[in-house]
Amino acid sequence: MELKLASKLISDIYHICLELKPENIEFEAIDNWRKVIMDLHLIRAKNSEEYNFMQTIISSYHIFLESLPIIQKPLENLNNEEKRIFIDQFIEQYEVIISRLKQLEFNISFYEQFGYFNNNVVAVGANGSGKTSLADNLRSSLNNNGLVISAQRVLFIPEIDNIPSPEKSDKRWTDMNKKSRTFKDIDDFLEIKEEFGFVLGNLVAKHCNYAVNRLNDASESRVLSELEITLQIWNEIFDHRSLRLVDGIKLKVYDQEESYDPLKLSEGEKSALYLISQVIQAPKNGFIIIDEPEMYLHKTIISKIWNILEIYRQDCTFIYLTHDLDFAVTRNTAAKVWLKSFVYPNLWDIKRIPENLIPEKLMLELLGSRIPILFCEGTKNSIDQNIYQTLLPNFTIMPVESCLNVINFTKAYNTIPNVNTKAYGIIDADHHCFTRLEKLKLDNIFSLKLAEVENLFLHEKLLLQLAPIFFKESKVLHIMDEVLKELEKEKILQASRFVSCKINNFFNESHVSKANSLESIEVNFIDFNTKIEIKRWFEERLTYIEDIIKRNDYNAAISIYNNKGLKRIVERNFSKPEYTDFVLKYLSKNNDIKQIVRDLLPQELVNA
């Protein structure tokens, strides 16, 4: 049925319903049909029907139209009795019509959200983001244009002792793949036990039929059957053993001199055989949708399996539904989308993951956060991450190694549209000058009032609170005195590092003015250089450090003193090895200690 005729038919239905006002008819839904048809018209205008997604949409469109009762005469020629008869027919089919319309709407919406892809796609979503429901909805929408491989599968390999006809085995395999995997009924669990047998049985039946046909046609060139391709791929992946067809219909595993039934394979080996068998048999030029493609597979072979299968089935579009970020990153050429939210039964908010300064794997991890993100220095499980997770529980703490990464990633994340959260950054004061740290606050990047995060545990208030635990009250003054003496020894080094850091920041944040001649370039460069006053900066910093030492200002000292070895002074005086680890554990169970350290953090983050 042409789109124009369909649009007129739906318009006539709407006007008859509006005139007779039958009960239980949603006028808004009927009026929306015209919009759906127009959407379809626009899609066809923009996209060739050669795209495999169009086949699915057009197929569901025709199924919807076939459910509509046909008006035999022009609307203006219908009498009241004929209109009532039509309405009765319409009401009888109304629930079916609405159901099929919703399927059409879902298909159109789904492909719009995925950008009418003709390339592979990885959809990343956390638990509860509707991945399994999405797979099940796709199963019902694909018709004969694809295959959905469910995450729910029982890897039971039966022994094949007879060969059904190719038609019968293909029907069993097709019917099995059309069934839902939501498992709301006990019968679903009973049927799934037969699944692997149907998959392999269909391969064997087609292989035997292919072999017979080749015998009857001597002119046919030798190509591999789907079963042979399946075994070839499996043997390539697991090269330490071999899977072969024996006695015409049985599969056997050979490991050196030993042979055994496939049922004794590991779960990963059986899962690989299942996936390969399914993908190789998928309809041509369609979709292959895989829910949790990483399930049961060891990380060392996941990428290899899917790389090979994508090469063998280049005619198909692969859609992976996963929460495994490591797997998602291995699909280098696939578009990445984020299942941002899901409202039961079939409403997904799907967003393309934008290219960004932030590494892809980290970006995928961040998008799952529903609380603000805090980028910090350090690595996974470093002291930075452990401290901030304890003291700032309302943030997703994300260590990104360097101060520069904290700054760049915070800025980059906050430019991304349609995300759930905002990003903040926290850095050590290090050798940054006050002016630079104040400027960074404008980008939600805040600094400790201490040179390094480790210095949080050296603060005078904390030492005084902890000393009685070790019966070392008298040692606090010794600790403070030793730190100041160490600073005195290293004052030249500390001033030099401050100036070096300031020069680096100056180069990063400034630039030589553009010029149109060699002479202008030289002039501009000299002007740029004159702004770097190394001697003045060094003398000012050294004077500042000496003043701190002269005043015995311990807390000021640890605010500017970069020396990760200072904790050894505390460990020696408190006779407590691994002092940092002890304080970390103590923080989690002592609110007084926790509050002392929280007060040393940027209050913009504490109060966020």
Q: Which range has the worst mean pLDDT, 116-125, 198-207, 529-538, 563-572?
A: 116-125
Q: Which residues contact 150 (CB under 8 A, 6 or more apart)?
A: 132, 135, 181, 291
Q: Which range has the worst mean pLDDT, 174-183, 223-232, 296-305, 545-554?
A: 174-183
Dihedral of the CA atoms 489, 491, 497, 498 (nearest 10)?
Answer: 160
What pLDDT sits at residue 1?
47
Residue with tokens 């796609």: 121
Q: Kindly give the residue spans of alpha helices, DSSP state H, lying in 116-219.
A: 131-142, 166-178, 186-192, 195-216
Q: pLDDT, tens digit, for every residue of 65-96? A: 778 888 877 888 888 888 888 888 888 888 88
What pLDDT sits at residue 47?
65
The C-alpha atoms of residue 258 and residue 252 are separated, in whole angstroms, by 10
274 sits in the region (left: phi over 0; alpha: psi -120 to 50; else beta) called alpha
Given a cut of 70, whether residue 231 has pLDDT beyond it is: yes
- In this prediction, residues 25-40 reach a mean pLDDT of 73
What pLDDT sits at residue 391?
93
Average pLDDT, the chain: 86
Q: Which residues contact 401 (CB under 8 A, 6 or more apart)?
A: 377, 378, 379
What pLDDT sits at residue 3?
64
- In this prediction, residues 40-64 reach a mean pLDDT of 68
Q: Is 417 exposed, middle or buried (0-12, 13-18, 19+ CB in 10 A)?
A: exposed
- In this prediction, residues 9-33 reach a mean pLDDT of 77
What pLDDT sits at residue 126?
78
Q: CB count, 10 Å around CB of 574?
A: 20
Q: Cβ distance 388 to 605 under 8 Å?
A: no
Domains delineated in the chain: 1-114 (no CATH), 121-352 (3.40.50.300), 428-607 (no CATH)
Cα three-residue angle 264-267-271, rounded to 5 degrees: 110
Sheet holding 258-260, edge to edge: 242-246, 250-255, 258-260
Given a cut of 60, whether residue 162 has pLDDT beyond it is: yes
Given a cut of 60, whether residue 48 has pLDDT beyond it is: no
Q: pLDDT, tens digit, for every residue of 191-202? A: 677 889 899 999
What pLDDT sits at residue 184?
56
Q: Is 239 exposed, middle or buried (0-12, 13-18, 19+ CB in 10 A)?
A: exposed
Q: Cβ distance 422 to 405 under 8 Å?
A: no
